[in-house]
Amino acid sequence: MLFFNKPKTVCARILVMVILGTVSLPGFSHASFTVQDERKLGQEFYEKLTAKDLLVKNPLVFDYIDKIGRRVLQHADDSPFSFTFSVIKSSGINAFATPGGYIYVYEGLINLSENEAQLAGVIAHEIAHATSRHIADTIEKSQKVSMATLLAILAGAFLGGSAEGAAAITSFSMAAATSLNLKYTRDNEEEADRKGMRYLTESGYDGQAMLDFLKIMRQFEYYSNSVPSYFLTHPGTGDRIRYLDGLIQTTYKQRGKTNIIGGLNRIKTILVLNQRNLSENLKFFQNALKEHPGDTDFTYGLAVVQGKLGQTDEALKNFSIALRQSQDDVDILRDLGILYFNRGKVIEALEPLKKAYHINQNDPETILYLGRSYEMIGSNFEALDLYEKFQRDNPDDTNIYYNLAMTYGKINKTGESHYNFGIYFKKINRVKSALFHFKAAQSYFPSGTEKGNRIRSEIDLLNQPVSPRAQPRRP
């Protein structure tokens, strides 16, 4: 098993507080909790997580989890829901299903998985909870509870460890929170294990993986202070282990595959590289390579971290090893180019970046750094093409407008330069600078033209008086 750092207990409390900070739903009560009600509650919970940027957005991570989920779902019981599979930004060891077909897996649980079948087993178990409507049944049997309270209880149960904690944070009464206990019953767990094992094995995965990972998670509990814990809402670990072992011995003796989609180590690498603690990341990859010597993904991850730590020679050595094993890997080529660029070696950066762009012309980081490299060597038209492509795909990125403004200026397109400086300064709330550049751009784009009208609208918007409520308080 790989070395994993102890997650910080504060993660869960932050998750609960941020998701509950903006609950503003109309009152909702139910004598029966319908499928439509499930969809509404599940969607609202999902939207809160999304709005607070608590879900991993990396397309490779999303695609990987979604592919596993869809594969398992093909063999699941019929459900009235269109399932959504997401990864939560947290080092906690947890996974859960909310009403409406929403399945969540934590980063920490993915990193703890030793193979894809173990991860698929967790997802299969959660799908079984959803298709069996375990939470919906619990809600349906409860007293009338508002939708806002249900959101609080969901957050407390699955993000914060207890419904009581969520109630305290949101000022709901203890009675309201404790009136609905969302911890699964032993019967719920047995049914989810039984169905989940069937879903898993019919999908082609090894059923033994579900049992193995449950044992790994229980072992992890002994030395981890992780909150929330998978076992807080999934009770009866010992009974579950015995039950799953019995299913394997009697019904699922035939071994399946441990990996079908492939690429778990790359997903782990992406998740670790998105974390900011470089010293912890370094330990992760060093320990991972002790267990998996020569692994391309972990070698690549180690190279990236070493580069960020200024260990350039070691980083280049490991990039070279990784590229020998996978010479057309876009991630490795791109990040090698970024390392060279950040070290001021722009000429050296161009070769891997151009090769990465040739393989994949839609990777935003490749486009941006190749554009910056071209700009640094004076190839401004090539840089501009890439910057414009990046801006079209990432219009909310602030800094790209600065890059565009500088490059337009270098090729004597002064009006476009002023216009993009105006957008840039507007985005960073420097109103006077934005107005200066928009007004300067007006002389290059006559009134009545599309760009001229757009500039006029920007100026009018910036000249609107600021509402007193929006003004910052004076100390």
Residue 124: predicted pLDDT: 97
Q: Which CATH number fits domain 276-327: 1.25.40.10, 3.60.20.10, 3.40.710.10, 3.10.129.10?
A: 1.25.40.10
Q: What is the pLDDT of residues 434-473, one digit of tens each?
A: 999 999 999 999 888 999 999 999 999 999 886 655 454 4
Q: Which residues contact 195 (CB under 8 A, 6 or more apart)?
A: 76, 77, 124, 128, 131, 132
User: Based on C-alpha coordinates, what's the Rg of the chain?
Assistant: 26
Q: What is the pLDDT of residues 327-345, one digit of tens each?
A: 999 999 999 999 999 999 9
Residues 6+ positions from 327 with CB-CB distance below 8 Å? none
What percentage of the chain exceeds 90 in pLDDT?
67
* Predicted pLDDT at 74: 95
pLDDT digits (tens, 9 = 90+) for 353-383: 999 999 999 999 999 999 999 999 999 999 9
User: Looking at the predicted structure, is the pLDDT value of residue 170 above 50?
Assistant: no
Spacing of C-alpha 380 from chain mean position: 35
Over the range 189-198, which residues count as b (16 or more CB within 10 Å of their CB) and which as e? bbbbbbbbbb
Across 22-49, average pLDDT: 72
Of the two residues 319 and 168, the one the predictor is more confident about is 319
- pLDDT, residue 230, reads 76
What pLDDT is attached to residue 474? 44
Does residue 24 have a pLDDT over 50?
A: no
Convert the pLDDT of each residue in 415-443 to its tens digit.
999 999 999 999 999 999 999 999 999 99
Q: Does residue 158 contact residue 54 with C-beta atoms inside 8 Å?
A: no
pTM for this entry:
0.82
Q: Of all residues in the chain, what percent carry a pLDDT higher than 70? A: 84
Question: For 84, what's the count of Cα atoms within 13 Å in the CB-facing half-sphere?
Answer: 15
How large is the average pLDDT for residues 384-410?
A: 97
Provide the pLDDT confidence category of residue 153 given band limits of 50, 70 and 90: confident
* CA 375 from centroid of its chain's CA atoms: 32
What mean pLDDT comes out for the span 392-407? 97
Q: Which of 7-21, 268-282, 369-383, 432-446 has the lowest mean pLDDT?
A: 7-21
Instruction: Indicate whether 23 pLDDT > 50.
Output: no
In the chain, the amino acid numbered 236 is G
Q: Is residue 151 within 8 Å of 159, Cβ to Cβ?
A: no
Q: How high is the pLDDT of residue 196? A: 96
Q: How far apart are CA 91 and CA 422, in angstroms?
A: 40
Question: Mean pLDDT for the chain?
Answer: 86
Q: Which residue(s) pair with 103 in the sheet?
A: 85, 97
CA quadruple 415, 418, 424, 429: dihedral positive or negative?
negative
Structure tokens at 307: 């580069």
For Cα atoms 315, 320, 322, give the angle at the middle one, nearest 5 degrees. Answer: 95
- Judge whether residue 178 has pLDDT over 60: no
Is pLDDT above 50 for 111?
yes
Cα distances from 63 to residues 95, 260, 264, 267, 393, in angstroms, run 18, 14, 12, 10, 19
User: How large is the average pLDDT for residues 186-191?
Assistant: 88
- For residues 403 and 369, give the distance between their C-alpha atoms in angstroms, rounded to a whole number: 11
Alpha-carbon span 228 to 161, nearest angstrom: 5
Residue extents of the structural domains in the chain: 10-250, 276-327
- Residue 229 confidence (pLDDT): 66
Nearest CA to 90 among 145, 12, 143? 12
Q: So what's the pLDDT on residue 171?
A: 37
pLDDT in tens, 46-97: 999 999 899 999 999 999 999 999 999 999 988 888 999 999 998 888 999 9
For the cut 80, the answer to whether the pLDDT of residue 475 exceeds it is: no
pLDDT above 70 (res 181): no
- Lowest-confidence region among 137-146, 293-302, 380-389: 137-146
By C-alpha distance, which of 160, 106, 120 is closest to 271?
Answer: 106
| pLDDT band with cut points at 50, 70 and 90 for residue 15 | very low
Position 290 scores a pLDDT of: 97
Q: How many Å apart are CA 328 and CA 333, to the nearest integer?
A: 7
CA angle 331, 333, 339 (to 5 degrees): 100
Q: Is the pLDDT reported for residue 105 higher than 90?
A: yes
pLDDT in tens, 193-215: 999 999 999 999 999 999 999 99
